[in-house]
Amino acid sequence: MDKKIIEAPFDSYYGVFLTMACSFSCEYCVQKISLPQQPVASYPIIPGEDWVEALNSISGRARRKFLRPTKKKKLSITGGEPTLHPDFVYILNHLDKDWRITVTSNFISPFFQKDAPGLKQIKRKRGLKFNASFHFLYTTLDKFIENVQKVKKAGLLVHTLFIVAHPAYMDKIQQCRDALLEVHPNVKLQRFLGYSQGRLYPAQEGYDIEYQQRDGIYNYKDYQAGFNQQNKQDIYCRMNKVLFAPNGDIYNCHYKLYTGHKEKLGNLFRKGLHIALPADYFLCHDYGFCNPCDSEGHSFRRLDGSEFNISA
């Protein structure tokens, strides 16, 4: 059997982007923030069997310690909208037990229509949870709640419901949050990340919300400089992420995955893959186009040697 080695800390974030296609086209989608200077990449669909075989071949996904429960590697399955992948159910059912899976979905796609037969075909119950984002500009509260209930009725764990706290709609957002809290105990507001009316959020004097989902952006000055999608400059960057693009290309940066950048670490589907995540700072020429998905706890070192962190 093929064995793939990815040298990275056990707690590195692992994310699989099954498809960049989405059932919505949110104008604030963080994946499109680099437009128009850098277009979003177009990727093919890879069959579920290939994903399962490759992901199950990655070694070191369980950490066994004497007299302690075995730790399993966490895997985030996302997109785009991951339920649009034609083999979505197959992938969930066949990824082995050394993966602890979180699916992030908008809960609105053909997969959830009518009595959602695909949900009942998901046999995996342990080591699987769903998080969902409610996009009230693109669907109704009733439809979203109906689909939350369908997922629960299928015996699947719904963990957190998120609402993006778009600064232009705060009254509506608070109403939606109250309504969702009546059907689910865990509802979180996320700060809006990206541009609205020409302004990059979050900003120092931004709107004042009590947000429940940490985005780790407290150093607004450097966030505004590094994530504004205007000018590129060299910097040393440190990243602890393993991100699989829909074609299996491996990145440690969301901006590079979203734009299909040439600087990738390898491809998951290559036999005998053996790669190492840079353990320390590495030189990047694209600072200025960093994606807000990479803001939390992010450390940088300028060429003059000074260091800063977006969270401090």
Interface residues with ligand SF4 (CB under 6 A) are 22, 24-26, 29, 31, 80-81, 106, 133, 135, 235, 237, 239, 253, 255-256, 284, 286-287, 289-290, 294
Rounded Cα gap, residues 104 and 129, in angstroms: 9
Q: Nearest approach, Cβ of 253 to ligand SF4 (angstroms)?
A: 3
Contact assessment for residue 40 and residue 308, using Cβ atoms and an 8 Å cutoff: no
CA 268 to chain centre: 18
CB closer to ligand SF4, 40 vs 62: 40
Q: Nearest approach, Cβ of 235 to ligand SF4 (angstroms)?
A: 5
Q: Nearest approach, Cβ of 140 to ligand SF4 (angstroms)?
A: 15
CB closer to ligand SF4, 92 vs 163: 163
CB closer to ligand SF4, 54 vs 180: 180
CB closer to ligand SF4, 192 vs 255: 255
CB closer to ligand SF4, 56 vs 311: 311
Cα R_g (the chain), whole angstroms: 20
Q: Nearest approach, Cβ of 88 to ligand SF4 (angstroms)?
A: 15
Contact assessment for residue 33 and residue 195, using Cβ atoms and an 8 Å cutoff: yes
Q: Nearest approach, Cβ of 96 to ligand SF4 (angstroms)?
A: 27
208, burial (CB in 10 Å: exposed 0-12, middle 13-18, buried 19+):
exposed
Rounded Cα gap, residues 96 and 201, in angstroms: 39
The torsion angle over the Cα atoms of residues 104, 99, 250 and 241, rounded to 10 degrees, is: 70
Q: Nearest approach, Cβ of 185 to ligand SF4 (angstroms)?
A: 23
CB closer to ligand SF4, 95 vs 253: 253
Enumerate residues 6+ apart whose C-beta is below 8 A from 304.
none
Question: 196-204, long-range: CB within 8 Å, 24+ apart, which pairs?
Answer: 196/28, 196/166, 196/167, 196/168, 197/168, 200/224, 200/227, 200/228, 201/167
Bridging pattern class, strands 128-134 and 99-105: parallel
CB closer to ligand SF4, 59 vs 276: 276
Residue 69 has what DSSP assignment?
Answer: P
CB closer to ligand SF4, 112 vs 255: 255
Q: Nearest approach, Cβ of 284 to ligand SF4 (angstroms)?
A: 3
Q: φ, ψ for residue 14 (rounded to 5)?
A: -110, 125
Specify the DSSP element, H or E, that contains 48: helix 48-56
Q: Nearest approach, Cβ of 300 to ligand SF4 (angstroms)?
A: 7
Contact assessment for residue 269 and residue 56, using Cβ atoms and an 8 Å cutoff: no
